[in-house]
Amino acid sequence: MLFSSNIFIFVFLPIVILLYYTIFRFKFKNLFLLVSSLIFYGWGEPKFIIIMIMSIFMNYIFGLLVDKFREDKSKAKSILIFSMTLNIVVLFIFKYLSFTIYNINMYGGYNLNVPSITLPIGISFFTFQAISYVVDVYRNDGKVQKNLFNVALYIAFFPQLVAGPIVKYSTVDYEINNRKETFKDFSNGVWRFIIGLSKKVLISNTMAVIADAAFSNIYSGISVSFAWLGAIAYTLQIFYDFSGYSDMAIGLGLMFGFHFEENFNYPYISQNVSEFWRRWHISLGKWFKEYVYFPLGGSRVKSNDRKIINLFVVWILTGIWHGASWTFVLWGLMYFLLITVEKFSGFDKRPCKKIWINHLYTLLAVIIGWVIFRSNTISEAGMYLKSMIGIGANGLVDNVTIMYIKENIIFFITGILFSMPVIDYITKKIKRKKIYAILEFSSSIIVFILFIICITYLVKNTYNPFIYFNF
């Protein structure tokens, strides 16, 4: 079930909110949200609920065992390592086994049977949250949950279940049993949900049409201008797709009293690649930093070689996390190289004094990265990048590029403009209370109008699945 679907907006969500705030407000509210989340997850593929329930029960037991043997550090650590290994094995089987066997056959000369395994939606997200639960209990960053249903709610809560943000257990540990729903949080949640819906339906989906047209025609040949237009369109598409989903998830969490951390902070204004990754998919970056990078020693290790190895491990895992494809591996390696150079040269802390050069370098690196990320194969990515510099391209400018620009110029301008903190800047500049009140009232009207426009798009069925559902 998609957040940007009629069944979710007009049926599922209203029913859940109504029942939550009437029948289940003061009793069994966690159980009700859990049941609602299982219905949400199982709407399209009910069989995958079994996988998630197994993950929940398995990690619930591990959490109890880690807490029970807390005083015996060696035994508790062994349980932790075993739990993480088992979680990763399950993730590997569903997400990477077919890819691994295929490559063994391809490069090893074997003829092993390649199993056809359907990827459960959101398995990377809920597996990482399950690992977070056991690790945080082990570290005493969160209290162990004796109630199985509370662990299940943390892992399966529908707002962040299938595409994040990845919620660390320690951030919602207290709110699982002690949250306070308020009208202010609920109204802010509705506002945030509509903003996210608008990002997805109005901008991301429009950009998707252009990006798909460019990338799908790479073998037949495209012009230099259309190659760049498609790459820029995808750069906007993936940002508004994923940040839009995160906005909706955070908004839904607020409606039920949960406060999730932000997942994006205007990444396209970054002055270097290191800064970009502090602003993009923040929850994933923090997860790898706290559960992989720091345990390896982080940047505090004495040897530079060890620092490089630590960065390599994090970024190769970041690439692989996104999918079983060599393009994701290459994408991760690209960022490993760029960030390693930035850190050892000091560029991440002392960028060029000419800010526009920093922005240009960062955006160019990010766009190239998204071309690799979007492509089906490395050779396809190579062909696309060649087209961007004129090698094998069908001319410099063509009518297709002009047509797409004319038809979508407003969406491009809007997408570029609001990828920067324009609203934040205006709000900070307005200090007079009366003007601020007018702005606040006007924004409410604008958000309502955006919601109506989004509904008209949804009625016409002009929406796409979220990109990060695949991960």
In DSSP notation, 258-309 reads: --PPP--S-GGG-SSHHHHHHHSSHHHHHHHIIIIITTTTTT-SS-HHHHHH
C-alpha–C-alpha distance, residues 277 and 280, integer Å: 5
Q: What are phi and psi of 180, to 5 degrees?
A: -120, 115
C-alpha–C-alpha distance, residues 349 and 465, integer Å: 38
Q: Is residue 94 helix, strand or coil?
A: helix
Of 196, 143, 141, 180, which Cα lies nearest the Cα of 4?
Answer: 196
C-alpha–C-alpha distance, residues 136 and 10, integer Å: 37
DSSP structural state of residue 237: H
Q: What are phi and psi of 216, to 5 degrees?
A: -75, -15
Contact, 66 vs 80, CB < 8 A? yes
Per the listing, tokens 């599922």 go with 12
* CA 428 to chain centroid: 28
Instruction: Please confirm, yes or no, whether 281 is among the known catalytic residues.
Output: no
Per the listing, tokens 């922005």 go with 359
Is-cis flag, bond preceding 165, omega within 30? yes
Token output for 57: 């029960």
DSSP structural state of residue 159: G
C-alpha–C-alpha distance, residues 96 and 88, integer Å: 10
Element at 100 (helix H, strand E): helix 97-108
Q: Which residues contact 471 (CB under 8 A, 6 or more apart)?
A: 122, 124, 125, 163, 321, 322, 323
Is-cis flag, bond preceding 295, omega within 30? no
C-alpha–C-alpha distance, residues 187 and 192, integer Å: 9
C-alpha–C-alpha distance, residues 152 and 257, integer Å: 17
C-alpha–C-alpha distance, residues 388 and 167, integer Å: 38
Pick the catalytic residue from 259, 281, 322, 359. 322
Per the listing, tokens 């608008």 go with 198
Determine the angle formed by the axes of helices 224-255 and 355-374, rounding to 10 degrees: 90
Contact, 441 vs 216, CB < 8 A? no
Query: Catalytic amino acids?
Result: 322
